Structure 1
Amino acid sequence: MQQLILPALLASCWTLCTEAGDWCYQTQFSLDHPCNVPEKWNLANSRCDGRSQSPINIVTRKTLKDKRLTPFKFDNYQQIFTGMIKNNGHSVQAGVPHLSTVSGGGLPTSYKAVQFHLHWGNNGGPGSEHTIDGEQYPMELHIVHMKQQYTDLTTALSDQEGVAVLGFFYEKSNSANRKYEPIINALRSIRNAKDNTSLIAISLAQLIPAEQNLTSYYRYKGSLTTPGCNEAVIWTLFESPIPLSMEQLRAFSELKFHDGKSMVGTFRPVQPLNGRQVSWSGGAVILASSFLLMAAIATALGLSQPN
């Protein structure tokens, strides 16, 4: 009889927990914590079953070069600000004053920064959400923006183009990235879920590659990568990666989920493209290379001319 009762109790617990909308990453699931893993996020929110979900795998040979994807204009990205950085139980997230804006780059209007957060693997292993030709980077940064006219993210998410997320990949480096010291140092104070601490003297510009290295990127329309999975995001994924040392990458794996387990594998698996077109800016780097080649040829021809 007991052998029949135990499975029934476990099934009941599963039903109660999952129907309550408790979502988690695969690494969080256990019998003590029977939450909705990514494959069951539709139980947490039905939007997660949509046809324009994120992240995706970008197959570079199938991307379409788009001349409208011009260089971005970053305003007040150099602005130093102070704020709060927190362990929200699923990731590290920091609020950003709405002074920093981004426009151009094929966006329909200007968008203001709201927050940034990260997704990572286990001790520097594969952990990015988006992949490029199947390659998964160690970590991924998302800087979340909303249209200028909105005052809160909830309202912006009701607009199909209300949110613009800039995504950046990280790569392993032999040396530490000094620009990331404020964040790495803050991680020691937010190891447990719901912990928060001050993030001082930082700018968005110092977290990302130099502006001249941000002309080559991919673009598609998708969703938030966590429930509620709202399909209201214009995604931009930059090719130029951000270097971090292994020690810096591993620091993120020292954080804890709500249940005290190590916060690792904080990424949603890639989702079906379902016919969506991924565009590529591509031209700026190629044009620069072509210009240098033409200049070199012109110089060589000039040197070969008789006096």
Structure 2
Amino acid sequence: MQRLLMFTLLASSLLWTVCTGADWCYQSQFTCDHQCNAPEKWSHANGNCAGTRQSPINVVTRKTVKDERLTPFKFSNYQEIFRGTIKNNGHSVQVTVPDHRTISGGGLPDSYKAVQFHFHWGINGGPGSEHTIDGEQYPMEVHIVHMKSHYTDLKRALADEEGVAVLGFFYEASNSGNRKYDPLINALRSIKTPNANTTLVSGISLAQLIPSEQNMTNYYRYKGSLTTPDCSQAVIWTLFENPIPLSTDQLQAFAELKFHDGKPMVDTFRPVQPLNGRQVYRSGSAVILASAVLLVAAMATALGLSQPN
């Protein structure tokens, strides 16, 4: 019996050795033919991924704490049109942003300049966001990555535990297309294969991709990490409550891209990570208002049940 157990453990070890590799990948890519470290084994690719302040997380709204310091953001040069490079980097779609677009306020300790933005999505409009709100996973999520304005490269910023600030926005399926996204969606046709890139010829602005400033006052805040290896724990996260609408066709356009092995680039999200005692803060009064609405509805139901027939 002991020999059988030892043989089973050895066989399992050999199978794991065969089915893993040094590269990291998403769960949708993992097979024994494609040797890579899926999310639960990212710490094999980089030890930072086993840290205690990892991202993404599930935001439990009733456990968030209101923070009066989380005031509206100040966006500088977000309206300016630029013709950045859009690239299929083998894991996502990434767009390089000129560095004089900055954010400040919003409870941030410094001014931060935009570096790039990229997306995470599911399968043809299915669940695909990295962060979840009360367990709800949206079809897609965009991360606008910023670093402290005095840094000259992202590597240096990631050595500072508050060196990077990421703005996260969710997407929801809409019956009509979002014309503001046309330059981006049209460019996807030219970058279906890994390492393919093109220029956004007609140009784009960060402001046209996100809600208006008056609709960005309700958000969540916590300290976490990059959501891909090397998983550096140097990120101040801001997750905005109001989702951005895209049509089903627009969402599906992202799923037509390809991974390095030729598979469809789908389910490009890391599963949510433990909070490990971290506090998530909120701005505004959206959560309180939602709770008030539920309370009124519950009271109305109770009163209705107490009425004689």
TM range, smaller chain: 0.7 to 0.9
Partner residue, 1:57: 58
Q: Of the candidates 263, 267, 270, which is equivalent to residue 268 of structure 1?
A: 270
Cα contact 1:87–1:196 (8 A) shared by 2: yes
The correspondence of residues 198-217 of structure 1 with structure 2, limited to 5 A, is 198-200=199-201, 201-217=203-219
Alpha-carbon distance between aligned partners in 2 of 1:60 and 1:286, rounded to the nearest angstrom: 9
Cα contact 1:128–1:137 (8 A) shared by 2: yes
Cα contact 2:62–2:287 (8 A) shared by 1: no
Cα contact 1:215–1:284 (8 A) shared by 2: no
The correspondence of residues 180-195 of structure 1 with structure 2, limited to 5 A, is 180-195=181-196
Partner residue, 1:226: 228
Deviations 1:220-277 (A, max 9, x none): 0000000000000000000011000000000000000000000000000000000000
SS of structure 1 residue aligned to 2:190: coil
Percent identity, please: 74
Counterpart check, 1:282 vs 2:281: no
Counterpart check, 1:104 vs 2:98: no
SS of structure 2 residue aligned to 1:113: strand
Counterpart check, 1:47 vs 2:58: no
Residue type at the aligned position of 1:273? L
Distance 1:108 1:11, change over 3 A: closer
SS of structure 2 residue aligned to 1:126: coil
Counterpart check, 1:236 vs 2:235: no
TM-score if structure 2 supplies the norm length? Answer: 0.87
Cα contact 2:122–2:139 (8 A) shared by 1: yes
Alpha-carbon distance between aligned partners in 2 of 1:240 and 1:12, rounded to the nearest angstrom: 44
Residue type at the aligned position of 2:33? D
Residue type at the aligned position of 1:210? S
Residue type at the aligned position of 1:269? P
SS of structure 2 residue aligned to 1:67: coil
Distance 1:249 1:55, change over 3 A: same
Residue type at the aligned position of 1:267? F
Partner residue, 1:68: 69
- Flag structure 1 segments of 5+ consecutive residues without an equivalent: 288-307
TM-score if structure 1 supplies the norm length? Answer: 0.88
Cα contact 2:84–2:96 (8 A) shared by 1: yes
Partner residue, 2:173: 172
Structure 1 runs of 4+ aligned residues shifted over 6 Å read 6-9, 284-287
Alpha-carbon distance between aligned partners in 2 of 1:63 and 1:230, rounded to the nearest angstrom: 24
Cα contact 1:215–1:285 (8 A) shared by 2: no
SS of structure 2 residue aligned to 1:192: coil
Please provide the CA RMSD for this pair. 2.0
**How many residue pairs get matched?**
280
